[in-house]
């Protein structure tokens, strides 16, 4: 009996399991708008449960998952600046607090399915979450825990897309998976142009030169400089999260042409 068979795994099985995985550690970016579902309420429990189930299914395979959540379903700082004298910095801080609310809700849903989850915030809120510490986040992932990063970068004037790119680089994740309400990146606005074409692949240069509405330029540049691929896909389609995490073809892949 070989050492592998003593563990109940044959030598033939292991290569097959490994070949099914494209990524070992991923960063899932979930927009606040996606969490709102049909927008009848700020956070749709059906959406958070769907996310939790699919993330749970891949963590059982040993894939490490970190999540960055947006807050636009509750409060979007950039669009609220100027209201009643609210300055941009204060508006952005309120938006960061909104992401913490989403993170705690998503954490509760994850743990209801038995998935150990930690929320880490970019500024200290020790009564409800851990502060963001890179080494601690990596250790949580290595232990099979899902880590949800909240409060963006902790600084105003930066989006949660930039936070996703930054955290991805910091924890050495292999890809940013951007879950949205559309199927991917189109060559035109599909809401205005019924002939808009879904693009399977794009380069970082094409995104910036064509000013495609994928992520803000800071986030795209950060991904390009660190050679982090980005997959943009539809959160609303069942199974898409698990497919994206497993590296199956879904949505639009943004990467260097040589990738």
Each residue of 156-205: pLDDT tens digit?
999 999 999 999 999 999 999 999 888 999 888 787 888 889 999 999 99
Return the pLDDT at 256. 86
Please list the residues that pair with 180 across neighbouring strands: 234
Compute φ and ψ for 218, nearest 5 degrees.
-60, -45
Whether residue 115 contacts residue 55, with contact meaning beta carbons closer than 8 Å, is answered with yes
**Which residue, among 173, 160, 178, has the nearest Cα to 252 in the 3D structure?**
178
What residues does each domain of the chain span? Answer: 22-255
Please list the residues that pair with 224 across neighbouring strands: none
**Residue labelled with tokens 């954490």:** 107
Return the pLDDT at 20. 54
For residues 154 and 147, what is the distance between their CA atoms, to the nearest angstrom?
17
- Helices 217-225, 160-170: axis angle to 10 degrees equals 10
Return the pLDDT at 170. 98
Return the pLDDT at 231. 96
Q: How many residues are given for the chain? A: 259
Counting as low any pLDDT under 70, the low residues of the chain are 1-21, 79, 82, 258-259
Helix (H) or strand (E) holding 203: strand 201-203
What is the DSSP code (8-state) at residue 229? -
The torsion defined by the Cα of 243, 229, 73 and 145, in degrees rounded to 10, comes to 60
Q: Does domain 22-255 have CATH number 3.10.20.30?
A: no
What is the DSSP code (8-state) at residue 132? P
Return the pLDDT at 113. 97
Q: Average pLDDT, whole number, for the chain?
A: 88
197 exposure class (CB count in 10 Å sphere: 0-12, 13-18, 19+): exposed
For residues 198 and 200, what is the distance between their CA atoms, to the nearest angstrom?
7
């Amino acid at each position: 009996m070989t050492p592998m068979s003593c563990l109940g795994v044959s030598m033939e099985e292991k290569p097959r399991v490994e070949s099914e995985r494209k990524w070992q550690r991923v960063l899932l970016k979930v927009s606040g708008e996606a969490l709102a579902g049909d927008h009848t309420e700020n956070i749709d429990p059906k959406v958070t449960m769907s996310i939790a189930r699919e993330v749970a299914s891949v963590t059982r395979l040993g894939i490490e998952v970190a999540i960055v959540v947006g807050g636009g379903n509750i409060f979007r700082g950039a669009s609220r600046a100027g209201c009643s004298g609210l300055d941009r910095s204060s508006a952005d801080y309120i938006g960061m607090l909104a992401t913490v609310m989403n993170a705690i809700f998503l954490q509760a849903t994850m743990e209801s399915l038995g998935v150990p989850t930690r929320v880490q915030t970019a500024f200290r809120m020790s009564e409800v979450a851990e502060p963001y510490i890179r080494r601690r986040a990596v250790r949580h992932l290595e232990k099979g825990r899902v880590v949800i990063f909240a409060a963006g970068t902790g600084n105003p004037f930066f989006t949660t897309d930039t936070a996703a790119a930054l955290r991805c680089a910091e924890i050495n994740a292999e890809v940013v998976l951007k879950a949205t309400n559309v199927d991917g990146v189109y060559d035109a606005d599909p809401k205005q142009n019924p002939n808009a074409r879904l693009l399977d692949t794009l380069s970082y240069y094409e995104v910036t030169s064509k000013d495609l509405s994928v992520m803000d330029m800071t986030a795209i540049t950060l991904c390009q400089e660190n050679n982090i691929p980005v997959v943009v896909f539809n959160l609303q389609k069942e199974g898409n999260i698990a497919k994206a995490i497993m590296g199956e073809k879904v949505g639009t892949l943004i990467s260097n042409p040589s990738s």
